Amino acid sequence: MKRRFGVLVLSLFFLVLLSIPLLAETALYVHNKPYPKPILIYKDTVYAVVSDIFPALRLRLESQGRMFCGASYRYTGTLCPSESPKAVLYINGKPIMKGVLIQHGKTWVALPALAQATGYTYQYNPETEIADISDRSMSTLINTPSEEDKSGESTTKDSKDNNKDSKKSDTPPEKKEVPLKVDGPHQTVQTNTNEIWVSFTVTNISKKDVKGVTAVLRYLDGYGKPMTQKSYTVGTLTAGQVVKEEDYWINSSGVYGVTTDVQLDWEGKKKE
């Protein structure tokens, strides 16, 4: 009797274990860029933390206790309901009844449900275990061959045309050499206080010294419009030298979807 009871308990344990969502090894891309935050797989569906995925997608997000209210920037209605909430997540003013999990003390949303509610595009390739979610206006490719790759004739034709063009001009195209490389910017956002920490590095990848190096760190709103910026005078970078810069900024106006980028300039840089 004890043995049968033990077998029954062990079987129930494995059934419960199989029903628990697992942190995923699947690679997720947001707007064609790697998503660094954790995701999980539940019933063959990719989930992401609401407070992480919304800013990454440049979506508006507010929280009221345990309830989250998000929307696209094109949505002009009320984010959170005025009456008693029917769900823990609202998108564009509508409750999301399916595709929401409370796991590891956080609220997770299924990416297919998120894409459907916001009008974004979601794709998942089970063979490569790569998922991608982005705005419909942006190109999203997951190991999808182009039409030129599918057609041998078009590839051959393009090769012949390129050969003809190369014969017409004996002067090789001018190669643009970029002696500097930027790693970042990497930003950390504290949603409760709207504090943003940013860091980036500049590396001289050439074999010569680069003089007069300056870097401009820009803060952009959800539409990609610059809000503020900070300039850094790096000076001369010797071959292989790496310089790290950091910044701290408070998003006092509460703008959603803030992103950052770095623009470099140096002595002798060719202006476009």
- Tell me the per-residue pLDDT of 102-161, one tens digit each, with 9 for 90 and over: 888 899 999 999 999 988 888 888 788 888 898 765 544 444 444 444 444 444 445 555
Number of Cβ within 10 Å of residue 271's Cβ equals: 4
Indicate whether 158 belongs to any domain: no
Q: CA 199 to CA 182: how far, in whole Å? A: 11
The range of the structural domain enclosing residue 48 comes to 21-134
Structural domain includes residue 174: no
Rounded Cα distance, 193 and 80, in Å = 20
Q: Number of folded domains in the chain?
A: 2
Q: What Rg do the C-alpha atoms of the chain give, in angstroms? A: 25
Within-domain flag for 259: yes
Burial class (CB in 10 A: 0-12, 13-18, 19+), 140: middle
Share of the chain above pLDDT 70, in %: 73
Does any domain span residue 5? no
Task: Summarize pLDDT for 150-190 with one digit per residue, the tens.
Answer: 444 444 445 555 555 555 555 555 556 788 999 988 878 77
Q: What is the pLDDT of residues 75-99, one digit of tens each?
A: 888 888 877 778 899 999 899 988 8
Q: Does some domain include residue 68?
A: yes
pLDDT, residue 65, reads: 80
Please tell me whether residues 130 and 188 are part of one structural domain.
no
CA 248, CA 252: separation in Å to the nearest integer?
Answer: 12
> Where a domain ends, among 134, 160, 195?
134
User: Kind of pairing, strands 67-71 and 39-42?
Assistant: unpaired
- The CA distance from 169 to 190, in Å, is 56
Q: Give the pLDDT band of residue 23 (cuts 50, 70, 90).
A: low
Residue 175 belongs to a domain: no
Specify burial of residue 53 (Cβ count, 10 A radius: 0-12, 13-18, 19+): buried
